[in-house]
Amino acid sequence: MLAKYFLRRFAAELGKDVTGYAAETMELISQYRWPGNVRELQSVVKYALLEATGPVILPAHPPVSVQDYTPHRTTTATHDNKADDRGLDLPALTRELLASGSEDIHRKLVSMAEKEIFAEVLKATSNNMTQAARHLGITRTTLRARLESLGMSHEKSRPLR
């Protein structure tokens, strides 16, 4: 698979000791439509490598556009039934991060949660930064700064390239 080839190639170029993908990450990659074809795949692999701190690429490492993609999205009746309708399983991700030897689990999980929250609020407000910031209870400047630090573009709530 091209994703494995690019992982080996870019890991060597970037000097990263990443040897593979978690099963859930491979599932994300294989289900994504890849509208940008090979160049987009290359960009996603590089991004994930830069995010990775352990020996494997976890589901939290690819850009949010890949993380958010679900071919047959099913929603739950209420948020009380499930924390995330895409199946985000924080206990499982925590175990994966522990198994990979990660020493910054809190930061990674908080970043993942923020990405999800910001993406949903921006989507609900048609990417209106003022409305989104108001709903989030933060200033527009803070929202812009957080989006940038998370690698998200406010225009489309997608990762920056």
Task: Tell whether 87 is covered by a domain.
Answer: no
With a cut of 70, say whether residue 66 has pLDDT above it.
Answer: yes
Average pLDDT over residues 148-159: 66
Structural domain range at position 8: 1-71
Task: Tell whether 91 is covered by a domain.
Answer: no
- In angstroms, rounded to a whole number, what is the distance separating the alpha carbons of residues 105 and 96? 10
Q: What is the CATH number of the domain that holds 136?
A: 1.10.10.60
How many structural domains compose the chain?
Answer: 2
| Tokens of residue 39, six digits | 């160049």
Task: Tell whether 82 is covered by a domain.
Answer: no
Indicate whether 4 and 62 sit together in one domain.
yes
The answer for residues whose C-beta is within 8 angstroms of residue 34's C-beta and 6 or more apart is: 40, 41
Give the angle subtended at the CA of 41 by the CAs of 109 and 48, to the nearest 5°. 25
Mean pLDDT of the chain: 79
**How would residue 156 be classed by pLDDT, with cut points 50, 70 and 90?**
very low
Please choose, from the candidates 13, 88, 15, 34, the residue with its C-alpha nearest in 3D space to the C-alpha of residue 58.
88
Task: Tell whether 96 is covered by a domain.
Answer: no
69-116 pLDDT, tens digit per residue, is 765 443 333 333 334 444 456 777 787 778 777 788 888 888 888 888
With a cut of 70, say whether residue 160 has pLDDT above it.
Answer: no
Q: Say if residues 6 and 41 touch (Cβ distance below 8 Å).
A: yes
Least-confidence region, from 1-10, 20-29, 58-67: 58-67
